[in-house]
A and B are shown apart, each in its own frame.
Chain A
């Protein structure tokens, strides 16, 4: 079945460590997105990418980095510069061709920094 997969579901890290969240899709989608969600809040855009080897900052990119070396993969690194990294992270992808451009989301990674 086609879909978008985030791993792991739960992640614990010590303060000051970088951590990388995985996002893989087999939907042949061109665009991929990373969001952060805090309790009781909506989704805030961190980074997005419309094509391999290209990405743009979203509203809250500081303290995060991404890469897009393959169409299927869009990993997010939470660096030690991110002041408040504990949150729920969601990855999404969309097709940019045809009319079915709805976003597909992964099930999220809950990151806890202690």
Chain B
């Protein structure tokens, strides 16, 4: 079963901020929220991840609610090249060995409109 819920599709105007929501109401205390995106017919690309604090990098910002049951990925100035499927997943950032199944849902298809 998928651990996250995302809307199947969203539109955003070019130049505007794209806000992609994700619900993860059953997240465990040691699970991180990861975001990836997949441009058509390519492998997914890592964007950002976080545990409970908000995070920002050169690609995006991640806002995690205080109860950690949901998060929002923000692309501050969307361009046409940001059109892709965005996946939100939760997993334990393991150290010292051990791997889980790294489960992906269907993601959100973000379409940037010119």
Residues of A within 8 A of B (CB): 6, 30-31, 33, 35, 41-45, 48-51, 56, 58-59, 88, 90, 92, 94, 96-99, 101-108, 110
Contacts and interface: CB of A to CB of B under 8 A. Distances in A.
A99 B99 contact: no
Interface size on B, as a range, is 20 to 34
Interface string B91-114: 001111111011111110000000
A-B complex: 5 closest residue pairs judged by Cβ atoms: A105-B43, A31-B99, A50-B99, A42-B106, A102-B46
B94 A101 contact: yes
Contact of B102 (A42, A51, A92): A92
Contact of A108 (B42, B102, B103, B106): B42
A59 to B, nearest CB: 8
Nearest to B103: A45
A108 B96 contact: no
Contacts of B44: 43, 90, 92, 103, 105
Nearest to A29: B99
A42 B43 contact: no
Contact of A48 (B41, B46, B95, B102): B102
A98 B101 contact: no
B43 A107 contact: yes
A102 B49 contact: yes
A41 B99 CA distance: 24
Contact of B46 (A42, A51, A103): A103
Given A35-B104, A88-B41, 5 more contacts: A30-B97, A92-B102, A96-B95, A96-B99, A102-B34
Contacts of B101: 33, 45, 48, 56, 58-59
Given A102-B49, A107-B42, A96 B94 contact: yes
Nearest to B47: A102
A104 B46 contact: yes
B25 interface: no
13 contacts: A43-B104, A50-B98, A56-B101, A59-B101, A92-B43, A96-B94, A96-B95, A96-B98, A96-B99, A101-B95, A102-B46, A103-B102, A108-B41
